[in-house]
């Protein structure tokens, strides 16, 4: 086949039309990006964190709905969410973070849960000038220079240790043994617990144990040797299960306190109602005293069919998006580079206390200083950039963990 000049012209024209159409398409998509603010969510939808991830994501979505229903932010721009799954895995988390940042051009990555994932994506967020809010507990996040881009709101191991200590002190316990899993989490919980407990006049001995043992009887013998009223645990589910089974066999009369990730419904299922009876679980709870809480609770439970208390991080997800949206409104910019330094300002305790996104936006537009109090926590960030949630306690009764109330610090 020979190519005539006419053919060439026709084909060339076709190509030019195609190029023009594509260029037009690109222009349209840029135009859309200008009218919206792109926020990313990066929750653990599958694997280890899957008991929390979908709830966190739903919390974030409810907040985005609220902002958009109020007419948007930064001069009427709507928030558009792009969501990826961390798979509770640092490698998958980093891949998802890069996709959200490079392909979707998001300004935030909200809702990471696993400390490993958060530590892996934190440098990427700082480098790319994207805000991350997470519920990770590692104390490494406290010491990191986060440049006001990375914000832990779920309570660190330090906070958990302190709150377990506060609970023990309030119960009037004077003598305690603390069994600590030999890793940074267990040791931090033990140290913080001991500080609080001994400051209140009690004595506390820390027994550190190694993981993956078929038996913890010697450790238990040591913990019981000082005849404590209570044994506190800086532990995980498998070791806690074995320890409680062995303690039950011994029949010693001692109380137990542990963090919610170890003393969970799965623990009661594994050891049975008898061995678990009376064991106390300490964990973060939503801010049920916020006027906005009831409406959030109703919408969340209707949307998911899950009680909001079963996943305290869900309400924190709502606050993550709310804080970022309010900061963007205050900075008058939807770019994280501009609004990341305003996050602390909209949650600062010096301002007027506001509980809903609506009253917060109105106050910001009226030029007032505000202190956003969330439905998940009070979102007051300390010097290290960490917000401590509220804490509550549960007691195992007849095979169920029963919520008893908040622990006031």
Partner 1 sequence: MSLRLFIQTIIDGISTGAIVALVAVGLSLVFRISRFVNVAHVDLATVGAYVTLLCATSLALPFGVAAAIGIVVVAVIGYLSYALIYRRLRHERAITLIIASVGVAFFLRYLVTFIWGSNQLAFDVPLLRAYRFGDFRISPYDLLIIATALAVFLVLHLVLRYSAFGRSLRAVSDNPSLARVAGVPTERVIGIMWFIGAGLAGVGGILLGIKAVLTPYLGWQLLLPAFAAVILGGVGSVGGTLAGALLIGIVGEIAAVYWLPTYRIAAVFGVIVVVLLLRPQGLFGTKAVAK
The residues that touch partner 1, with contacts defined as CB under 8 A, are 48, 182, 207-210, 212-215, 217-219, 221-222, 237-238, 241-242, 245-246, 248-251, 266, 269-272, 274-275
Smallest separation, CB 232 to partner 1 (Å): 16
How far apart, in whole angstroms, are the C-alpha atoms of residue 171 and residue 262? 21
Smallest separation, CB 315 to partner 1 (Å): 25
Per-residue tokens: 297: 């609770």
Cβ proximity to partner 1, 245 vs 353, nearer residue: 245
CA 296 from centre of chain: 17
Smallest separation, CB 264 to partner 1 (Å): 11
Classify 9 as helix, strand or coil. helix
Classify 378 as helix, strand or coil. strand
Contact (CB, 8 A) for 381 and 347: yes
Smallest separation, CB 163 to partner 1 (Å): 25
How far apart, in whole angstroms, are the C-alpha atoms of residue 196 and residue 218? 27
Cβ proximity to partner 1, 221 vs 289, nearer residue: 221
Q: What is the dihedral of CA 333, 335, 341, 342, to 10 degrees?
A: 40
Cβ proximity to partner 1, 26 vs 250, nearer residue: 250
Smallest separation, CB 53 to partner 1 (Å): 15
Smallest separation, CB 380 to partner 1 (Å): 35
Contact (CB, 8 A) for 136 and 118: yes
How far apart, in whole angstroms, are the C-alpha atoms of residue 142 and residue 94? 21
How far apart, in whole angstroms, are the C-alpha atoms of residue 84 and residue 367? 35
Cβ proximity to partner 1, 251 vs 367, nearer residue: 251
Smallest separation, CB 114 to partner 1 (Å): 14
Smallest separation, CB 272 to partner 1 (Å): 5
Cβ proximity to partner 1, 40 vs 93, nearer residue: 93
Backbone angles phi, psi at 129, to 5 degrees: 60, 55
How far apart, in whole angstroms, are the C-alpha atoms of residue 116 and residue 332? 33
Cβ proximity to partner 1, 62 vs 262, nearer residue: 262
Phi-psi region of 186 (alpha: psi -120 to 50; beta: other; left: phi over 0): alpha
Cβ proximity to partner 1, 272 vs 349, nearer residue: 272
Strand partners, 377: 389
Contact (CB, 8 A) for 195 and 205: no
Cβ proximity to partner 1, 83 vs 115, nearer residue: 115
Cβ proximity to partner 1, 109 vs 275, nearer residue: 275
CB burial readout 7-46, b (16+ within 10 A) else e: eeeeeeeeeeeeeeeeeeeeeeeeeeeeeebbbbbbbbbe
Smallest separation, CB 50 to partner 1 (Å): 11
The terminus-to-terminus CA distance of the chain in angstroms comes to 86
């Amino acid at each position: 086949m020979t190519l005539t000049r006419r053919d060439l012209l026709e084909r060339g024209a076709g190509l030019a039309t195609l190029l023009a159409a594509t260029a037009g398409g690109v222009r349209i998509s840029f135009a859309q990006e200008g009218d919206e603010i792109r926020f990313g969510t990066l929750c653990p939808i599958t694997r280890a964190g899957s008991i929390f991830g979908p709830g966190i994501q739903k919390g974030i979505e409810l907040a985005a709905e609220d902002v958009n229903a109020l007419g948007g932010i930064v001069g009427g721009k709507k928030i558009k969410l792009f969501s990826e799954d961390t798979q509770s895995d640092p490698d998958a988390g980093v891949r998802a973070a890069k996709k959200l940042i490079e392909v979707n051009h998001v300004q935030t990555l909200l809702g990471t849960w696993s400390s490993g994932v958060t530590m892996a994506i934190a440098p990427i967020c700082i480098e790319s000038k994207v805000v991350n809010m997470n519920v990770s507990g590692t104390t490494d996040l406290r010491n990191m220079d986060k440049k006001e881009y990375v914000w832990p709101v779920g309570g660190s191991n330090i906070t958990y240790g302190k709150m377990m200590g506060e609970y023990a002190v309030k119960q009037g316990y004077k003598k305690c043994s603390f069994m600590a899993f030999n890793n940074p989490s267990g040791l931090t919980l033990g140290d913080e617990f001991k500080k609080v407990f001994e400051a209140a006049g009690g004595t506390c001995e820390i027994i550190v144990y190694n993981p993956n043992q078929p038996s913890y009887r010697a450790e238990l013998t040591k913990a019981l040797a000082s005849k404590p009223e209570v044994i506190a645990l800086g532990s995980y589910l498998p070791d806690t299960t074995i320890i409680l089974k062995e303690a039950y066999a011994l029949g010693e009369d001692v109380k137990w306190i542990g963090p919610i990730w170890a003393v969970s419904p799965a623990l009661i299922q594994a050891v049975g109602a008898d061995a678990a009876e009376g064991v106390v679980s300490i964990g973060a709870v939503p801010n049920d005293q916020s006027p906005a809480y009831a409406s959030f609770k109703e919408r969340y439970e209707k949307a998911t069919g899950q009680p909001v208390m079963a996943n305290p991080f869900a309400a924190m997800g709502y606050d993550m998006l709310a804080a970022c949206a309010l900061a963007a409104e205050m900075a008058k910019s939807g770019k994280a580079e501009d609004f990341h330094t305003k996050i602390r300002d909209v949650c600062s305790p010096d301002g007027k206390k506001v509980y809903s996104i609506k009253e917060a936006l109105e106050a910001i537009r009226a030029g007032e200083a505000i202190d956003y109090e969330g439905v998940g926590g009070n979102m007051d960030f300390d010097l290290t950039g960490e917000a401590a949630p509220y804490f509550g306690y549960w007691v195992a009764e007849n095979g169920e963990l029963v919520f008893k109330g908040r622990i006031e610090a």
